[in-house]
Amino acid sequence: MVGRDRFDILTFSCLLGCVLILGLLLLGGQESKSSVAAIDKALEQQIAYQARVNFLQNLYRPVEDLRLKGQASAALLKLDELARKYPQEAHGEILRGEILLERDAVKQAIDHFVRAVRLNGDYVDQANPLTRRNEIQHLVDTQLPLFTRRARSNPQSQPLQKTLTGLYYLQSRLAGGCE
Amino acid sequence: MNLFDRQTLIVIVSGLSLGILGVLLVLWGNPQNSGICVSCFLENSAGALGLHDNLRMQYLRPELIGFVLGAVVAASIGREFKSRGGSAPLPRLLAGIFLIVGCAVFIGCPIKMFLRFVAGDLTTLTAISGLVAGVWLGLKGLAAGVHFGGSKRQTGGAGVWVPLGFLLLLAFILWPPAFLLQSTRGSAAQAAPVLIALAVGLLLGGLAQRSRFCVTGSIRDSLLMGYRTPLLWGLLAFLFRGFVTSLLTGQFQPGFYGQPGAHLDLLWSFLGMLLVGLISVLIGGCPFRQLIKSGEGDADAGLVVIGMFLGAGLVQSWQIAGTTAGVGLNGKVAVMAGLIFVLINMLLYRERTD
């Protein structure tokens, strides 16, 4: 074991120098004097997400327009056309679910809501431009007791069990949790 | 055993604090039933650092930083901060990855598992069985001579690097750099105020360091010593306080279906937690305990923590993590890979007499 020799002094001086330079870099970085501006990734993500929301709203506007005019069948045909182009897009599933619900095709509507939420959890978020939380909550609140009763009286019915499982899934997502 | 000796009391206080604060953090903003969840926090934090691209799981959780730094402070005050390590570093790093695999498939670490249980989530019953079975099997392994070898006192301060890393993460919270990501939607967007979360983390980290509180350690000691172990009383205090607080705050919703952040792939919940139990016994503590030990200067635990961070990135990037919809093929494959990893290590690290 050697005491503090020239090597130690030199190493310590270099360390001090590096710490000073690091400090200056960090302080200088605050003023953005660097030639390469740091990319604010969080802001980039927000911009990309906003662009996605706008894109979806534009893409599905014809469907919404047809729906408002009461032309549900034409809206569903338009959704078929868009689904061929964007097969994994949750927004189409949500709109299909809403239209089917308006036409009292509850079981099919539930299937589409489940598929949509599985593809994109944004639809059950409270503060989200795409949110359908209230509609889904209402669907679960009204349909879960009905389907539970029906499934109990028909325990062998696979389609009923599938719908019930879908409603439990939506209930779980509405309840929150970390995923 | 005297319930009123100093060590037992501090363990009970730790358990009570974990129970009450674990539930209260939900009221203060954390996701439902996830007031404290080491694996969820790691997945969120890994996302914030850019280790995965799930936009709904990116937030540098102050609680996580508080756990480690609280342990550093408590260990320093108690003159227990000692750099030690050198025991099977690479297996420990991989064990850290597989710890998070097991937790992610179940959706939660052992602490969250019990928080979910006291909030009435009955799907956790299989996971609890899995964890107990894993700890029991791990104990059988230890009895048969399986161990990674003891850590040794290390010169050169190997144990300071993980605490310093967490200090850097604290600086990221105070002065967020441009590359730090933060979800604006999903569960990672739900968070208790930073200062409260940090204070809770520091308090629990300090208490856990003083008490050596550990969920799998409690189960292990209970299997070995019955009711005589203080850790069992800590676990019971945690469960009791968590249950009462859930009840008082209206978070107790008993049932099997529609539970927050829960799935019905019960076999995989069982196997996921079996994996966590097994690994925890082999490496000497649950994910929470590994964080605390890393704050005491344990470089072996520090490597587990680094492994857990890597695992947290991987379970999201490779879609290993379970979701409310269930456990996908990747998750099932990863759990089996984890069990194979543990079994191989049980063969390789067995001390044989002949």
SS3 B350: strand
Alpha helices in A104-177 (DSSP H): 106-119, 133-153, 158-175
For residues B351 and B331, give the distance between their C-alpha atoms in angstroms, rounded to a whole number.
32
Q: What is the pLDDT of residue A35?
A: 52
Q: What is the complex's ipTM, to 2 decimals? A: 0.86
Instruction: Give domain limits for chain B.
Output: 6-348
Pairing mode, strands B84-85 and B152-153: antiparallel
Whether the CB-CB separation of B253 and B119 falls below 8 Å is answered with: yes
Considering CB atoms only, which of A40, A121, A168 is closest to B186?
A121
pLDDT digits (tens, 9 = 90+) for B123-152: 999 999 999 999 999 999 999 999 998 888
Q: Are the CB atoms for B268 and B276 separated by under 8 Å?
A: no
Q: Is the pLDDT of residue B1 over 80?
A: no
| Average pLDDT score, chain B | 95
- Assign residue B262 a region: left if phi > 0, alpha if psi is -120 to 50, beta otherwise? beta
Question: What is each CA distance from B211 to B10, B146, B151, B233, B281, in whole angstroms?
Answer: 6, 26, 20, 12, 18
User: Average pLDDT of A120-124?
Assistant: 93
Q: Which amino acid is it at A83?
A: A
Work out the burial of residue B279: count CB atoms within 10 Å of its CB; fewer than 13 is exposed, 13-18 middle, 19 or more buried: buried
Mutation test of the interface with chain A: which of B107, B185, B319, choosing the one with the most A Cβ atoms within 10 A?
B185
For range B243-263, the mean pLDDT? 94
3-state secondary structure A95-123: HHHHHHHHCCCHHHHHHHHHHHHHHCHHH
Cβ–Cβ under 8 Å, residues B207 and B14: yes
Average pLDDT over residues A110-118: 96
Lowest mean per-residue pLDDT among A22-31, A68-77, B98-107, B122-131: A22-31
Mean pLDDT for B193-212 is: 97
B330 touches chain A (CB under 8 A): no
Q: Which helix (H) or strand (E) holds B70?
A: helix B62-77
Residue B313 contacts A where some CB pair is shorter than 8 Å: no
Q: What percent of chain A has pLDDT over 90?
A: 75
B353 — pLDDT class (breaks 50, 70, 90): confident
> Which alpha helices (H) appear in B284-321, and where do they start and end?
287-294, 299-317
The residue to which tokens 């966590």 are assigned: B276
Residue B41: partners with Cβ closer than 8 Å, 6 or more residues away? B61, B63, B64
If one compares B151 and B232, the residue with the highest pLDDT of the two is B232
Would an 8 Å CB–CB cutoff place B262 in contact with chain A?
A: yes
What is the greatest pairwise CA distance in chain A? 89
- C-alpha dihedral, A115 to B32 to A138 to B183, nearest 10°: -60
Chain A residue with CA closest to B175: the answer is: A30
pLDDT at A61 over 70: yes
In a mutational test of the A interface, the residue from B257, B265, B320 whose CB has the highest number of chain A CBs within 10 Å is B257
Count CB neighbours of B310 within 10 A.
Answer: 18
Q: Are B204 and B18 in contact (CB under 8 A)?
A: yes
How far is A71 from chain B, CA to nearest CA, in Å?
33
Q: Could you tell me what percent of chain A has a pLDDT over 70? A: 92
What totals of helices (H) and strands (E) does chain B contain, helices first? Answer: 14, 2
The secondary structure element, H or E, covering residue A21 is helix A6-30
CA B107 – CA A132 distance, rounded (Å): 25
Q: Which two tokens stand for residue B299?
A: 């470089």
| pLDDT value for A36 | 55
Q: What is the CA radius of gyration of chain B?
A: 19
Q: Which of B59, B39, B20 is nearest to B207 (CA)?
A: B20
Phi and psi at residue A76, to the nearest 5° = -65, -35
Distance CA A134, CA A129 (A): 13
pLDDT of residue A33: 52
Inter-residue contact A140 to A124 (CB < 8 Å): no
Look at residue A126 in the predicted model and tell me its pLDDT.
87
pLDDT in tens, B172-194: 999 999 899 999 899 999 999 99
Find chain B residues with C-beta within 8 A of A172's C-beta: 257-263, 324
Summarised one tens digit per residue, pLDDT across range B61-118 is 999 999 999 999 999 999 999 999 989 999 999 999 999 999 999 999 999 999 999 9
Nearest-angstrom CA–CA distance, B89 and B101: 19
CA distance A96 to chain B (A): 21
Q: What percent of chain B has pLDDT over 90?
A: 91
- Comparing alpha-carbon positions, the chain B residue that sits nearest to A131 is B185
Q: Do B33 and A128 touch (CB under 8 A)?
A: no
User: What is the interface size between A and B, counted as CB pairs within 8 Å?
Assistant: 95
Under 8 Å CB-to-CB from B344, ≥6 apart: which residues? none
Q: How confident is the model at residue B3 (pLDDT cuts 50, 70, 90)?
A: low
Q: Model confidence at A18, in pLDDT bands (50, 70, 90)?
A: very high
Give the three-state DSSP class for B146.
Answer: strand
pLDDT at A22 over 60: yes
Confidence of residue A135 (pLDDT cuts 50, 70, 90): very high
Dihedral sign from CA coordinates of A48, A49, A50, A53: positive
Asked if B199 and B63 touch (Cβ cutoff 8 Å), the reply is no
A 10 A CB-CB count for A30 gives 8
Flag whether residue A2 sits within 8 Å of chain B, measured between CB atoms: no
Mean predicted confidence (pLDDT) in B153-167 = 91
Of the candidates B98, B292, B148, B133, the residue with the CA atom closest to the CA atom of residue B219 = B133
CA B12 to chain CA centroid, Å, is 19
> Which of A36-70 are b and which e, b meaning 16 or more Cβ less than 10 Å from the residue's Cβ?
eeeeebbeebeeebeeeeeebeeebeebeebbeee
User: What is the Cα–Cα distance from B231 to B219, expressed in whole angstroms?
Assistant: 8
pLDDT level of residue A3 (50, 70, 90 thresholds): low
Count of residues for chain A? 179
Cβ neighbours of B174 in A, within 8 Å: none
Percent of chain B with pLDDT over 70: 99
Structure confidence at residue B22 (pLDDT): 96
Residue B227's pLDDT is 87
**Could you tell me the two tokens for B20?**
């009450």
Among the listed residues B49, B56, B51, the one whose alpha carbon sits nearest the alpha carbon of residue B31: B56
- What is the band of A42 on the pLDDT scale with cuts at 50, 70, 90? confident
What is the distance between the alpha carbons of residues A71 and A69, in angstroms, rounded to a whole number?
A: 6
- Closest Cα to residue B292, out of B277, B280, B305? B305
